[in-house]
């Protein structure tokens, strides 16, 4: 039986496009390298901040390549024809790296240090902490480009970097689970509850910064 991933791949990439597409080993390797480079950059920035602050700010990182299903559903949502060219040009988050930082102000510190890296271009910044999404979602998003050297070629590879606190990460994880239940009556009520908790979490993040500052002042 044909696996769902294969079926989706055929729709997204189109016949004959697969070698050049996201399923190709060249794209996969480049994308994995981009995740490794970005992760290394986050660790270097964390080391730099450790020297300045005497504490680490990076709690954890993870990276992923967007699945074919997720590419398709995003194209559908945004009304893009799901061709390889369109997806490459219009989707910024084919490659995604998430960095969870201890405190809200650490999120901005981390972004500032990354800004000083000459081999990282910040293409777009979306501050969903200052201006949360209507769902209540909060995070700082940087659309970045980094050079990846592969097969005697240098390619600037685009990726989405999501920076957030553990509380924001916890909230987004629960909200993500709810996405799969959309359309159900109970899901609407839960969504309203989640929105309320987004506010609670925002206040908690602020209070934690205040407490940390008081601890530092002792
Ligand atoms: P997944 O499954 O994480 O890949 P753009 O075209 O760049 O202007 P785009 O791509 O719609 O706009 O970006 P946006 O709205 O900044 O969101 C990109 C990603 O942020 C999403 O990717 C999610 O990972 C996360 N995100 C945004 N809004 C929410 C939200 O309300 N709840 C949660 N849990 N995550 C959110 P995808 O492709 O939607 O999903």
Residues 39-90 pLDDT 10s: 999 999 999 999 999 999 999 999 999 888 888 889 899 998 888 888 889 9
The residue whose C-alpha atom lies closest to atom 35 belonging to ligand 1 is 172
The residue whose C-alpha atom lies closest to atom 30 belonging to ligand 1 is 137
Distance 52 CA to ligand 1 centre (A): 32
Task: Name which of 73-77, 136-140, 155-159 the model is least confident about.
Answer: 73-77
The residue whose C-alpha atom lies closest to atom 27 belonging to ligand 1 is 137
* Predicted pLDDT of residue 83: 84
User: Looking at per-residue confidence, does 183 or 55 come out higher?
Assistant: 55
CB proximity list for 180: less than 8 A, separation 6 or greater: none
| Average pLDDT of the residues in 107-119 | 97
Record the tokens describing residue 88, joined without a space. Answer: 């490459």
Record the tokens describing residue 186, joined without a space. Answer: 């109970």
Q: Ligand 1 — pocket residues by CB below 6 A?
A: 66, 70, 74, 92-93, 126, 133, 135, 137, 141, 172, 175-176
Distance CA 169, CA 164 (A): 6
- Which candidate, 119, 137, 123, 120, places its Cα nearest to that of 93? 123
* Predicted pLDDT of residue 19: 40
Give the ligand 1 atom nearest the CA of 124: 7
Across-strand partners of 155? 148
Record the tokens describing residue 49, joined without a space. Answer: 């901040």
pLDDT of 20 over the 70 cut:
no
């Amino acid at each position: 039986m044909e696996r769902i991933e294969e079926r989706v791949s055929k729709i997204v990439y189109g016949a004959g496009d697969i070698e050049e597409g996201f399923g190709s080993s060249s794209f996969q390797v480049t994308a994995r390298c981009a995740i490794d480079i970005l992760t290394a950059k986050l660790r270097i920035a964390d080391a730099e901040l450790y020297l300045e602050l005497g504490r680490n700010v990076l709690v954890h990182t993870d990276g992923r390549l967007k699945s074919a299903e997720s590419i398709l559903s995003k194209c559908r949502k945004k009304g893009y024809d799901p061709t390889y060219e369109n997806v490459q040009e219009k989707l910024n988050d084919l490659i995604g790296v998430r960095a969870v930082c201890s405190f809200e102000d650490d999120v901005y510190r981390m972004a500032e240090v990354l800004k000083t890296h000459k081999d990282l271009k910040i293409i777009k910044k979306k501050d969903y902490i200052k201006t949360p999404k209507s769902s209540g979602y909060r995070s700082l998003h940087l659309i970045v480009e980094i050079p990846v050297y592969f097969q005697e070629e240098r390619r600037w590879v685009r990726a989405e970097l999501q920076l957030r606190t553990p509380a924001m990460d916890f909230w987004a994880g629960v909200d993500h689970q709810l996405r799969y239940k959309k359309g159900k009556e109970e899901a609407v009520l839960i969504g309203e509850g989640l929105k309320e908790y987004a506010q609670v979490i925002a206040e908690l993040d602020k209070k934690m910064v205040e407490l940390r500052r008081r601890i530092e002042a002792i």
